[in-house]
Amino acid sequence: MRYKIAALVGSLRKDSFNRKVAENLIRLAPDNLEMEIVEIGQLAHYNEDLDTDNPPAEWSAFREKIKTYDGVFLFTPEYNRSLSGVLKNALDVGSRPYGQSVWDGKPAAVASVSMSPLAASIANHTVRQSLVFLNMPVMQQPEIYIGSAHELFDENGKVIEKSEGFFKQVVDAYAAWVEKNIG
């Protein structure tokens, strides 16, 4: 069976290391995963007052799109010892209105990516806290803390050979996680 996976990238920067990691995992994904980046930068900040019978069009489009995916792979930078606002906002928009979350039951994985050797580990665990509440089974192993990210890619954004094996291990483990939680 082939599974559709949404990749959410929490960094909007043009040359984002999080986006490069996502793109490389998409390239290395096994045949049973169809992964694609779902853009989140266009989502207006969540405001319950706007979540009426006629919510903002980008919220409705995002919610409907996420419903078509079997799983979610999240990529987070660390801003001020937490996740990025844009990633948290996407989780909030998709989780509302209360009781209508588009995230419920979707198998997830979290990769944290940073130039720091600390590898955005606090952001990784902060994202995981939200996913527990959203009832998303989160892959435990391998843990995906990617530090010193500025040293991992060639001039075309492709992961360097010595790190490609880890990237392949990650995406293969996630494919097995999805299969276990859906299949």
Mean confidence (pLDDT) of the chain? 96
**Token pair for residue 143?**
């843990």
- pLDDT tens figures, 69-84: 999 999 999 999 999 9
The sign of the dihedral angle between the CA atoms of 89, 181, 118, 152 is negative
- Give the residue among 59, 58, 160, 75 at the shortest CA–CA distance from 109: 75
What pLDDT is recorded for position 183?
A: 64
- pLDDT tens figures, 84-142: 999 999 999 999 999 999 999 999 999 999 999 888 999 999 999 999 999 999 999 99
CB 38 within 8 A of CB 6: yes
What pLDDT is recorded for position 119?
A: 85
Q: What is the pTM of this model?
A: 0.96
Instruction: Give percent helix, percent strand, percent coil of the chain, each to the nearest 5.
Output: 40, 15, 40
Summarize the confidence of residues 12-20 as an average pLDDT. Answer: 96
Alpha carbon distance 145, 43 (integer Å):
27
CATH placement of domain 3-182: 3.40.50.360
**Token pair for residue 163?**
């790190």
% residues pLDDT > 70 (the chain): 99
- Indicate the residue type of 77: P
Residue ranges covered by each domain of the chain: 3-182
Edge-first strand listing for the sheet containing 33-37: 33-37, 3-9, 71-76, 108-113, 144-146
Residue 51 pLDDT more than 70? Answer: yes
